[in-house]
Amino acid sequence: MPTTKQDFDAEALYRALLEQVRAGMRDVPDAAIVGIHSGGAWLAERLAGDLDLQSRLGFIDVSFYRDDYAKKGLHPDVKPTHIGFNVDGATILLVDDVLYTGRTTRAAINVLFDYGRPACIKLAALADRGGRELPVAPDFVGVTTTLEGAQLLSLARDASGQLSLTIEEDNADSAQ
């Protein structure tokens, strides 16, 4: 159900997301989890631990695959892509922190197909803020919310691994 609540309990949203994923991925053969750097990677690590899929955990950075790369340039914090399992025939749970325009998801799917052809890709996001520009929808989501155009959702992780999700003012024209 959509919400415009200003304070989000990221840990409660994670638990809700975990239960959806656990139910939706139960008995899925050849399951794997791939997190999109950086917030999606944090969530993917926790999901892999909670679902006992640590050996089937990967991470991707979509910086070079974004359709706005020429406009935005290289992000100063590019992370390596690491997928240490066979993607061919796998059911991939692609994990992102915040789903917005769908462009990051599209770029992540392009990265996955560079590694092989999955049987199925399912999408999990901690938050869906709407504003889609591409026909992308999450299979699993912690919360659906609506933000003003100048706002964005920011996921942070402290030293103990606790998550926080805050609404911030967007000072740049950036599509997530």
* 117-172 pLDDT, tens digit each: 999 999 999 999 999 999 999 999 999 999 887 888 999 999 999 999 999 987 76
Task: List the domains of the chain with CATH numbers.
Answer: 2-70+78-169 (3.40.50.2020)
Q: Write down the mean pLDDT value for the chain.
A: 89
- HSE-CB at 53 with a 13 A cutoff on CA atoms is 30
Q: Please name the residue ranges forming H helices in the chain.
A: 10-24, 39-50, 69-72, 103-115
Output the pTM of the full model. Answer: 0.89
* 159-168 pLDDT, tens digit each: 999 999 999 9
Mean pLDDT within 14-35: 97
* 53-101 pLDDT, tens digit each: 999 999 999 987 766 544 555 555 667 899 999 999 999 999 999 999 9
Tokens of 95: 């994990």
Question: Could you tell me which residues are beta bridge partners of residue 19?
Answer: none
Query: pLDDT band at residue 1, thresholds of 50, 70 and 90?
Result: very low
